[in-house]
Amino acid sequence: MKKKILLLGSTGSIGSSTLDAAAAFTDKFEITGLSSHTNGVKLLELQKRFGNSVVTAYSGNSADTTISEPSVNTAGKFTYYGKEGLLEMISSSDADIVVNAIAGAAGLGPSIAALESGKDLVLANKETVVMAGPLIFPLAEKHNCRIIPVDSEHSAIFQLTRFRPEKFIDSIILTASGGPFRTRPVETFSSITIQDALKHPTWNMGNKISIDSATLANKGLEVIETQMFFGTPSDKIKVVVHPQSIVHSLISTTDGCLYAQLSSADMKIPIINALCYPEISDRTIVPFDIVGHTLTFENPDTQKFPMLKFAYQALAAKGAYTIAYNAVNEIAVDEFSKGVISFLQIAELTDRVLQLDWSQNPADFDDVFAIDEAIRRKSKEFVKVL
């Protein structure tokens, strides 16, 4: 029987890879619903591509968001509008799996809706775990749902650890490409432009994650996600820079050995692994040949890229500091993208906000959203005085 998939963020890079994976495995997967935040034209094209019976949701800012009731297309299927419409589509869908490829904190609400409606969650939205890890995993357990990671690093860890008893795992090693500025002299960072930051050396990704990779904030978010997802103490989570992006993470076992997951830099691989879980796919669309590849590893420079250091500090501080790390970084990246602040000021703004008191432990999801909003307000205030 085919697994029915509801894909959130279908017009982004992860969404596109998910659709390609589903198209290559039509015997295993069926797309039953799609959403987009701002690209309504492409969403309509995708609905036609996968059949007008596919349910859609458009949550972006447009006149359509004023529609309070879902509209019906010629096939008798609904199209939902606005944030509340998106959540309603998730809750009412008959999908088996929700793939959350929404960018940023906006993905948390849809993750909650997916789990509350009893659907397994294939998660590319790392902010769900970074902001609300202590709440989201109990919610999944309450509704007998699984949360399966899609980030290439966490997918690798998930596969490496699933067949090994936890007592034999000593530490987790996340790999990082190093981004576009790995070898660039730090004294030239003041002249970095948005165009420079978007030139990722190995991955084709959206603007936000590309900039996060340039600052190593993305790796910082992944360190936090690793601790939340696998319960690994932060001093047992290491980061190494691996420019070739072939080794997607490693685990170190108690006997001193390292086990790695190697594959092409193609997001369809972790997506297929997640959609097939608990089975392993009997075929691939990107076979990997190790011959001819050179693998190198080096330690990250946290003086040059302090966003990684700040992530470890946020984890150690506990409370709502991981929420703060994510929120201020989203504000900083947005302001950098608009030309309001410089590349170096992304880290400066983050440092200032993390020095404030965010020690409150969120009691529920409402607390998470309220704290997140307070951090964003404070971050925007600091932007004005940078």
Name the residue ranges covered by the structural domains of the chain. Answer: 3-149, 154-298, 318-386
What confidence score (pLDDT) does residue 76 get? 42
The mean pLDDT of 343-370, rounded to a whole number, is 97
What average pLDDT does the structure give for the chain?
A: 91
CA-CA distance, 161 to 339, in Å (whole number)? 42
End-to-end CA gap in the chain = 56
Residue 40: which region, alpha, beta or left (left: phi > 0; alpha: psi -120 to 50)? Answer: alpha
Residues 233-258: what's their mean pLDDT?
96
H/E element holding 95? none
- Asked whether residue 70 carries a pLDDT value surpassing 60, the answer given is no
Instruction: Check pLDDT > 60 for residue 67.
Output: no
Tell me what the mean pLDDT of segment 162-185 comes to. 93
Residue 100 burial (10 A CB sphere; 0-12, 13-18, 19+) = buried
CA–CA distance, 207 with 334 (Å, rounded to integer): 10
The mean pLDDT value for 235-240 works out to 97
Hey, which residues does 258 pair with through a beta bridge? 252
Burial class, 307, CB count within 10 angstroms (exposed 0-12 / middle 13-18 / buried 19+) = buried
Query: Comparing C-alpha atoms, which of 123, 163, 169 is closest to residue 146?
Result: 123
Partners of 5 in the beta sheet? 31, 97
State the fold for domain 318-386: Rna Polymerase Sigma Factor; Chain: A (1.10.1740)
Say how far apart CA 240 and CA 263 lie, in whole Å. Answer: 17
Tens of pLDDT, residue by residue over 260-278, are: 999 998 899 999 999 999 9
State the pLDDT confidence band at 196, using cuts at 50, 70 and 90: very high
Per-residue confidence (pLDDT) for residue 61, from 0 to 100: 56
Cα-based distances in Å from 15 to 73, 76, 98: 23, 25, 12
Report the distance separating Cα 347 and Cα 336, nearest Å: 11
Q: Which CATH class name applies to 3-149?
A: alpha beta
pLDDT at 39: 82
Asked whether 276 and 284 are in contact (CB, 8 A), the reply is no
Buried/exposed 334-369: b ≥16 CB within 10 Å, e otherwise: bbbeeeebbbbbbbebbebbbeeebeeebeebebbb
Question: Strand pairing partners for 71?
Answer: 79
Sequence letter at residue 59: S
Better pLDDT: 41 or 229: 229
Q: What is the pLDDT of residue 228?
A: 95
Distance from C-alpha of 224 to C-alpha of 228, rounded to nearest angstrom: 6
Q: How many CB atoms lie within 10 A of CB 189?
A: 16
The answer to whether residue 64 scores a pLDDT higher than 50 is: no
The amino acid occupying position 233 is: P
